[in-house]
Chains A and B, each alone.
Chain A
Amino acid sequence: MSQSTEPKLPEEDVPESVTRRKTLISFGVFALAAAGSTGLYKYIADSKNALGVKRPLRLVLNENETVAKTYFSNTHLVPTFDPKQAARPARVNGYEGIKKPVADDWQLQVERSNAEPLLLSMDAIKALPKYEITYEFKCIEGWSQKQHWAGARLSDFLAIYKLGTRSGNAPNPDQPDDLFNHVGMETPDKGYYVGIDIESALHPQTLLAYENNGQPINAQHGAPLRLIIPVKYGVKNLKRIGRIFFSDARPRDFWAERGYDYYVGL
């Protein structure tokens, strides 16, 4: 398009009183809008905290979870890479919940509806089909790193041990109401804990991991068993799982209590 297609700006002859009035009204509205937005900022800044972040912001973050769930799908997979590209060793970032050595008699404790808690050894986890994944691990701080992990699918684990449901049956995609809304996990010392929505827990790339780069995971990475959940930031990838439980209410979450978004779904 040449400039000839750009129309001239409309012009008008008006009395000076009109330009004066228009100017006054415009600047009045402008001042009001400026005061309004300053007021909005003050309102947010002066609000009480809800889990370490201003309440109005927390409410929107929670709504963002609702939005994210409308397009969340188990068929949306994290891109995977050749294991040769994985970092050796994988980066360690944080020691909450694993500051003391793991107990020799470590067992995985899993709460069940209408039944005694399950107590499982590593052999029980290793008996499940083993999956490997090399993907870009993403820290909430902003860094990312290609890492190679192996373990059992959390969804297989829940299916075989009939967990996560009110009925005590295996999770059934046709009966979403039977599922609890959340999975909670804690380290044995309860020094670190996360809550995860059940959809993300059942994602096919979510693993109960026991190997990193083909070797049993070391103490710093959360031996003997940790969560690898590529649909979440690293903060949800709990190390040294001690206890797993299910609930409709959000389980408490270490970093959400410190002002971070609870969902942090990628």
Chain B
Amino acid sequence: MKRIVHKHPLAIRWFHWINFPMLFVMIWSGLLIYWAYDPYKIQIGDYVLLSFFPDSFYKALKVPFRLAEGMAWHWVFMWVFILNGILYVAYTVISGEWRHLVPDRRSFREAGQVVWYDLGLRKTQPPFVKYNGAQKIAYFTVMLMGIGSVLTGFAIYKPVQIAWLTTLLGGYEAARLEHFLLTVGFVLFFVVHVIQVARAGWHNFQSMITGFEVVKPNDPERPVSQPVAPTPDPTPPTQPALS
């Protein structure tokens, strides 16, 4: 016999793995669009620290002169990205899964401890149930960023018909910059996420596909927190509340 812990509900796994190629298509086609007008850079005085993006970068990725193609992919797959996001948020709310995701005040202190632990400056990591504090903050933030990308996206997609949204976000040019910055955020998230998943190992990774993990007794990587008040929850997270 094996003791398994049901970690990721089936729906969450689908949302996650659909989102991966969708986000890739949106970022790639977004880059094809951005190339046609690429003014953003980080500059200190007259010194350009980082230009978005150098010609060599565009050339290596075969970006130039593909605006029309980029717009077509962007305006087709945005619907899948949006729909997947809506279903994810709805499922997370209705199923109670949000209890594992939404950070609280304690998460921020915990996140600091997790970072110390990851840097090797702390021996133990704080106990957690599904996600540690740093994960909660990261995953919840990336969900908010998804909403932000849709809103800033529509603000530049329909700046006349939905002018109120564009104005609310600071105007057309501001909304385009915000849309870009959020994309940079997704790329940074992706890099950290992949590194952390690689560090966490196969055991953790495969649970995003199978949904479960075999419990190892006294696993130092998974210090299990004991519930402070063991009140049974009326809606277990893996069962949709509607059932």
Contacts and interface: CB of A to CB of B under 8 A. Distances in A.
Interface of A: 1-16, 18-19, 22-23, 26-27, 30, 33, 37, 52-54, 56-58, 60-61, 64, 68, 71-73, 76-79, 136, 138-144, 230-231, 255, 258-261, 265-266
A138 B172 contact: yes
A77 B166 CA distance: 12
A231 B176 contact: no
A60 B106 CA distance: 46
Given A57-B72, A258-B68, A7 B99 contact: yes
B130 A6 contact: yes
18 contacts: A7-B129, A9-B5, A10-B6, A10-B236, A10-B238, A11-B3, A11-B4, A12-B3, A14-B2, A54-B72, A57-B73, A60-B75, A61-B72, A76-B160, A138-B172, A142-B176, A258-B68, A259-B69
B99 A1 contact: yes
Interface stretch (B29-37, B52-60, B111-119, B183-191): B29-37
Contacts of B71: 140, 260-261
A53 B4 CA distance: 49
9 closest cross-chain pairs (CB), A and B: A142-B37, A259-B68, A4-B228, A141-B36, A26-B210, A57-B72, A7-B233, A60-B76, A266-B160
Interface string B203-243: 00010011110110000000001011100010011100000
B161 A53 contact: no
Given A22-B210, A260-B71, 9 more contacts: A7-B233, A8-B129, A12-B6, A15-B1, A60-B76, A61-B76, A77-B160, A139-B37, A255-B68
A79 B167 contact: yes
Contacts of B6: 9-12
Interface of A is mostly: mixed
Interface residues of B, number: 59
Contact of B68 (A5, A22, A52): A52
A225 B37 CA distance: 28
Nearest to A58: B72
A148 to B, nearest CB: 17
Nearest to B25: A41
A27 B75 CA distance: 31
Contact of A71 (B161, B209, B225): B161
Given A5-B99, A11-B6, A27-B210, A53 B72 contact: yes
Contacts of B229: 4
Contacts of A23: 206, 210
Nearest to B211: A26
B76 A57 contact: yes
A57 B3 CA distance: 48
